[in-house]
Amino acid sequence: MHKYRLLLAVLIIPLFFTLYSCSNDSKGNDIQKRVIASTDIAAGLINGARGGAADTDDSYAVELISSYVDTIMLGAVVVRGNDSQPPEVFAANQTFIETPGVWNGPIFAGGIIPLAVPEDVIWTGGVDGDESLPELCINDGVIEIAALLAESEEKITIMAIGPLTDIACLVLNFPEVLDKIEELVFLGGRAPDQVLKYPFSDVIFTDFNIAQDLRATQVVLEQSSIPFTFINFSVSSSTLYAGDQISSLQNPGCSQRAQLLSRASEQRIAELTELLGMNIMDTFDINAAYYVAKPEMFICEEAGFEFVECAIGTPGVYNGADNPCAGHGPDQPSDLNNESEQLWVDPIYIGESRTVNSCISYVNQEELERFETGTIEIFCDGEVWTELPE
């Protein structure tokens, strides 16, 4: 641990200048919210770790929050999720550094593998007996988050729209900076017994950010007191973009970044159209970004949570009969086989876990529809925004 504290100290001086520069590049408001994005950006990547086209909503989410007038984006840490981490970092650099926009980096490389090594695992084969394993999760992105938190005079919001690998690593190795986190906004979670699917389709989704690194989610929720907000499936699945809306961003009058994001989304939209029978693009992570900017547009409630274990069937996947996990069972889709547990979030669990904030809907249908139309205009304009267009 001491070597990491020393490394933090070494980083503090140069990061002072980084933060000073970010403040000077701000949009003119002394009460701006400082934001770090932990994200699995993958717009434009095809045939990677998951096969087919990667999700593109992370990139739109980062674009939305980084152009909001009352935020200062301190950086985006790219974690393995929608694809392998190295191509994700490439995609993030192409989108947010090489292509002009309101915010142009910095981008940091985060976790490459899930948080697989518990703190108490040791190796007994050394010459001198037991040896502690190295902290495999520590990477440039985790170190950067820790340093930014340590140096900042203001608290920082973390927008976690990928697996919680890097945030869990922060909890395990840099507990001294956790009180600098204003709020952790996480895209994930479901109501008890909720099957994750759109009302117009029978296709079942996984709670992807949780399934990609279950242990990381458990560490952050059970071994820290970081203020935690869920943008759960009932919210993130309530909005959609029409394929034509995304195509409209290729209009020459739209920003270069909007045109890039539109082109990068074409294959994803084509696959969703075939899968769901509608020409749409999902907006999951973009709802989380809108919450960071405009929390008053959401209905949220205090809640607790429970990790529910899925029953193992034959030949050893999580499809056992009488399965407590929503959507699971002997005939479940193969995509659900990586959900060994589900995370259920609801007020009924208050007192059985620490209390979290759970966002369950928009304040009304008008604001939901305003999100679906107004954010497209924001992306096209490629400028600082204060309110979504009517």
User: How big is the chain by its Cα radius of gyration, in Å?
Assistant: 21
Statement: residue 60 has pLDDT above 80: yes
Q: What is the pLDDT of residues 138-153, one digit of tens each?
A: 999 999 999 999 999 9
Q: What is the pLDDT of residues 115-130, one digit of tens each?
A: 876 667 788 887 777 7
Does residue 209 lie within any of the structural domains?
Answer: yes
Non-local (6+) Cβ contacts of 135 within 8 A are 4, 117, 169, 172, 173
Task: Report which of residues 200 and 11 the model is more confident about.
Answer: 200
Report the half-sphere exposure of 223 (CA within 13 A, side-chain side).
17
Share of the chain above pLDDT 90, in %: 83
Report in angstroms the alpha-carbon separations of 295 from 44, 137, 177. Answer: 30, 31, 25
Total number of residues shown for the chain: 390
Task: Report which of residues 128 and 14 the model is more confident about.
Answer: 128
In whole angstroms, what separates CA 326 from the centre of its chain?
A: 22
Identify the domain containing residue 139 by its residue range.
Answer: 2-23+32-114+125-295+358-381
What are the backbone angles phi and psi of residue 142, rounded to the nearest 5°?
-65, -45
> Which strand (E) or helix (H) includes residue 210?
helix 208-211
Statement: residue 270 has pLDDT above 50: yes
Confidence of residue 19 (pLDDT cuts 50, 70, 90): very low
CB atoms within 10 A of CB 146: 24
Give residue 161's identity as a one-letter amino acid code.
Answer: I
Does residue 324 lie within any of the structural domains?
Answer: no
- What residues form DSSP beta bridges with 53? 46
Does residue 188 lie within any of the structural domains?
Answer: yes
d(CA 2, CA 350): 37
Q: 167: closest CA among 93, 84, 110?
A: 110
What are the backbone angles phi and psi of residue 362, rounded to the nearest 5°?
-75, 165
Mean pLDDT across the stretch 294-313? 97
Confidence of residue 5 (pLDDT cuts 50, 70, 90): very low
Task: Give counts: helices (H), strands (E), the chain.
Answer: 12, 13
Query: Which CATH number belongs to the domain containing residue 38 in this structure?
Result: 3.90.245.10
d(CA 300, CA 359): 4
pLDDT the model gives residue 366: 97
Residue 36 three-state SS? strand
- What residues form DSSP beta bridges with 78? 39, 109
Task: Report which of residues 126 and 232 the model is more confident about.
Answer: 232
pLDDT the model gives residue 14: 44
Report the half-sphere exposure of 88 (CA within 13 A, side-chain side).
29
> Which strand (E) or helix (H) includes residue 185?
strand 181-187
Does residue 221 lie within any of the structural domains?
Answer: yes
Q: What is the pLDDT of residues 25-34, one digit of tens each?
A: 546 555 799 9
Statement: residue 6 has pLDDT above 70: no
Statement: residue 110 has pLDDT above 50: yes
Q: 142: closest CA among 187, 179, 175, 95?
A: 175
Confidence of residue 13 (pLDDT cuts 50, 70, 90): very low
Does residue 351 lie within any of the structural domains?
Answer: no
- What residues form DSSP beta bridges with 308? 342
Angle between helices 165-173 and 214-222 (to 10 degrees): 40
pLDDT the model gives residue 49: 85
- Mean pLDDT is lowest, of 71-80, 128-137, 212-221, 299-308, for 128-137
Mean pLDDT across the stretch 226-231? 98
d(CA 86, CA 78): 9
Non-local (6+) Cβ contacts of 217 within 8 A are 163, 164, 168, 188, 209, 210, 343
Residue 187 three-state SS? strand
Statement: residue 1 has pLDDT above 70: no
Structure tokens at 381: 């304009």
Q: Pairing relation of β-strands 240-242 and 122-126?
A: unpaired
Does residue 157 lie within any of the structural domains?
Answer: yes
Structure tokens at 74: 């301190």
List % helix, strand, coil for the chain (3-state, nearest 5): 40, 20, 40
- Mean pLDDT is lowest, of 8-17, 59-68, 120-129, for 8-17
Does residue 226 lie within any of the structural domains?
Answer: yes
Buried residues in 39-54 as b, exposed as e (16+ CB within 10 A): bbbbbbbeebebeebb
Does residue 282 lie within any of the structural domains?
Answer: yes
pLDDT the model gives residue 20: 36
- Please tell me the total count of domains within the chain: 1
Report in angstroms the alpha-carbon separations of 1 from 31, 111, 134, 143. Answer: 34, 19, 11, 13
Statement: residue 98 has pLDDT above 60: yes
Mean pLDDT across the stretch 64-81? 98
Mean pLDDT across the stretch 157-165? 98
Confidence of residue 135 (pLDDT cuts 50, 70, 90): confident
pLDDT the model gives residue 218: 97
d(CA 73, CA 66): 6
